[in-house]
Chains A and B, each alone.
Chain A
Amino acid sequence: MQASDAKKLAASPYLLVEDWVSIGVRLAGQVGIVIAKTFYYLLRLQIDWQESIRQAYFIGVKSFLIVSLTALFTGLAMSLQIAIQLVQFGGESAIGGVVSLALIRQIGPITAAIIVAGRVGSSIAAELTTMNVSEQIDALKVMRIDPIKFLVVPRFVGAMMMMPVLSIYAMFIGIFAGMVIALVYADVSFGVFLDSAKAMVIDQDFFVHFLKAFINAAIVIFYSCAIGLNTRGGAADVGNAVTRSVVWSMTVMFIVNYIVTDLTYEGPR
């Protein structure tokens, strides 16, 4: 909490809430402009493919190791919890289905997105804010180059290329972790695990998986770019922009994740 926030909280908590709402509304407007302009260039196919591929490498390839580790341990912990509960009720044969469904619809996309928000979103916010502070963004504008076309579009395209790949990769790593846990703690063979998964998982679940992956990628890129392009000041502001980018991306991602889950849920209510 900044000093000004602490003063407002002491005066009246409503002032602080009013402040946060006003910041959120302003940021939503900035994100809206970034989204509109990005799609303007995308629809006209004004895309720098070389830079987009460079961004895809940075966003995707360089995230594989950290995604592997987080997906592995998230899968292990979640599968262990599920296995323990199901074994108590004699439901070992359902472990594969429950674990796979959770990983495909929820954990896979959100794990990859959290890593991308932390690793890539923060880096984009820092880079763009630094460019703003050092007048590099102004230099682009003077040369009549739209910073959104030059900086945001390639990052968005790169993220769209790589996020589904990272997401499906996180899912497979998590399922592998689930298979190991099911074998070790519940004596469920890989074959039984996969049969259970095949029985429970339907095509719609993969659609939800990819939908979430694309939406999460868009949220991280648009929020981090909007914050970076609209922050000026000095070194402290770069740090604040990084924090705001990660906090806002993740908050919006979790809210949208719930909305998508609810809208795509087809079972009984």
Chain B
Amino acid sequence: MTSQPIPPSSLPSFSKASEPMIKVEGLRKSFNGREVLKGISFEVFPGEMLAIIGPSGCGKSTLLKLITGLLEPDAGKITLNSEQIGLVFQGSALLNSLTVRENLALALRERKLPKREQDKAIMEDLTLVGLADYIDSFPTQLSGGQQKRTSFARAIVNDPQIILYDEPTTGLDPVMSTVIEDYMIELEKQLHAAGIVVTHQFSTWTRTAHRAILLNQGVVVWEGKPHEALNSTNPYIIQFAKATREGPMLAGKV
């Protein structure tokens, strides 16, 4: 554990009075006869950040791909109240043949903005993530952390109402992880978008999310506020949060 959970009051507030921005009902998905998601349901409201946590292979990334439409569910329903979606990929997924500027411009293509407005939006976003000086660099000329920040800038350049993060801090050093988490919190304040962060990094889900759901073998085994996790009596979240071998998660696997 690299940092203590911050109190929920540090995150921007949100209200459940409005319609949920993301509504997932009874989602099921199988690959080669193996059911990865077994009837998942949840809602995310504007301004709320939901963390989907769980061990590797529990279906977290599949869930994001279903929400973004990259995969089709076998059963269940996903309702999104906005078409403006930003996705930060685990591996950044920047197009290597394009510069940072061109990568961001790609995200703005659909809006057909005049060149001056497009350049302004790109520069504002790159300034926000501290990469204005790298606007004409190619992704291969950037460090891992810089690529991740560029991926952030690309995800938010369209002012999305829904923002999704796939393992945003995996593979980064602790300092860069904190920087990325700070960007996520800052974005929550600025965009007031509904967000989902898929992660297994303790610091990330406890610092950036209002609520978390823990997946294990395709089902939700715990749901609650991150700061309540360590005080819970649920054996799954206790094992996951404390990162111990003892518990129900590795049963039959060791």
A187 at the interface (CB under 8 A from B): no
Q: How many residues belonging to A are interface residues under a CB distance threshold of 8 Å?
A: 12
Question: Bound state CA distance, A138 and B68, in angstroms?
Answer: 10
With CB as the reference atom, state the residue of chain B lying closest to A133: B91
B183 at the interface (CB under 8 A from A): no
A139 contacts B87, C-beta separation under 8 Å: yes
Residues of chain B within 8 A of A144, CB atoms compared: 110
Point out the residue from A136, A138, A141, A145 that lies within 8 Å of B94, measured CB to CB. A136
- Assuming the contacts A136-B95, A138-B70, asked whether A143 and B107 have C-beta atoms less than 8 A apart, the reply is yes
Which residues B48-69 have CB closer than 8 A to chain A?
Answer: 65, 68-69
Interface string of B140-173 (1 = CB under 8 A from A): 0000000000000010000000000000000000
Residues of chain B within 8 A of A145, CB atoms compared: 106, 109
Point out the residue from B85, B87, B96, B107 that lies within 8 Å of A136, measured CB to CB. B96
B113 at the interface (CB under 8 A from A): no
Interface string of A112-152 (1 = CB under 8 A from B): 00000000000000000001001110111111110000000
Q: Name the distance in Å between B195's Cβ and chain A's nearest Cβ.
A: 15
Q: What is the size category of the interface that chain B forms with chain A?
A: 10 to 19
Q: List 25 A-B contacts (CB under 8 A).
A: A131-B95, A134-B91, A135-B90, A135-B91, A135-B93, A136-B93, A136-B94, A136-B96, A138-B65, A138-B89, A139-B89, A139-B93, A139-B94, A139-B95, A140-B95, A141-B68, A141-B70, A142-B68, A142-B69, A142-B70, A142-B87, A143-B107, A143-B109, A145-B106, A145-B109
Residues of chain A within 8 A of B94, CB atoms compared: 136, 139
Question: Bound state CA distance, A141 and B106, in angstroms?
Answer: 11
Residues of chain A within 8 A of B110, CB atoms compared: 143-144
Residues of chain B within 8 A of A139, CB atoms compared: 87, 89, 93-95, 154
Residues of chain A within 8 A of B106, CB atoms compared: 140, 143, 145
Residues of chain A within 8 A of B109, CB atoms compared: 143, 145
Q: Per DSSP, are chain A's interface residues mostly helix, strand or loop, or mixed? A: helix
Which residues A182-207 have CB closer than 8 A to chain B?
Answer: none
Q: Name the distance in Å between A58's Cβ and chain B's nearest Cβ.
A: 11
Question: Bound state CA distance, A135 and B65, in angstroms?
Answer: 11
Q: Name the distance in Å between A147's Cβ and chain B's nearest Cβ.
A: 11
Residues of chain B within 8 A of A143, CB atoms compared: 106-107, 109-110
Question: Bound state CA distance, A136 and B95, in angstroms?
Answer: 6
Residues of chain A within 8 A of B70, CB atoms compared: 138, 141-142
Q: Name the distance in Å between A57's Cβ and chain B's nearest Cβ.
A: 14
Q: Name the distance in Å between A140's Cβ and chain B's nearest Cβ.
A: 8
With CB as the reference atom, state the residue of chain A lying closest to B98: A136
Residues of chain B within 8 A of A138, CB atoms compared: 65, 68, 70, 89, 93
With CB as the reference atom, state the residue of chain A lying closest to B164: A142
6 nearest CB pairs, A to B: A135-B93, A139-B93, A142-B87, A135-B89, A143-B107, A136-B93
Q: Name the distance in Å between B65's Cβ and chain A's nearest Cβ.
A: 8
Question: Bound state CA distance, A142 and B68, in angstroms?
Answer: 7
Question: Bound state CA distance, A136 and B93, in angstroms?
Answer: 5
Residues of chain B within 8 A of A136, CB atoms compared: 93-96
**Known contacts A142-B68, A143-B109; 13 further A-B pairs (Cβ under 8 A):** A135-B89, A135-B90, A136-B95, A138-B65, A138-B68, A138-B70, A139-B89, A139-B95, A139-B154, A141-B69, A142-B85, A142-B87, A143-B110
Q: Name the distance in Å between B180's Cβ and chain A's nearest Cβ.
A: 18
Q: Name the distance in Å between A144's Cβ and chain B's nearest Cβ.
A: 6
Interface string of B15-31 (1 = CB under 8 A from A): 00000000000000000
Q: Name the distance in Å between A148's Cβ and chain B's nearest Cβ.
A: 15
Which residues A162-183 have CB closer than 8 A to chain B?
Answer: none
Q: Name the distance in Å between A245's Cβ and chain B's nearest Cβ.
A: 19
Question: Bound state CA distance, A59 and B68, in angstroms?
Answer: 35
Residues of chain A within 8 A of B93, CB atoms compared: 134-136, 138-139
Residues of chain A within 8 A of B87, CB atoms compared: 139, 142
Residues of chain A within 8 A of B69, CB atoms compared: 141-142
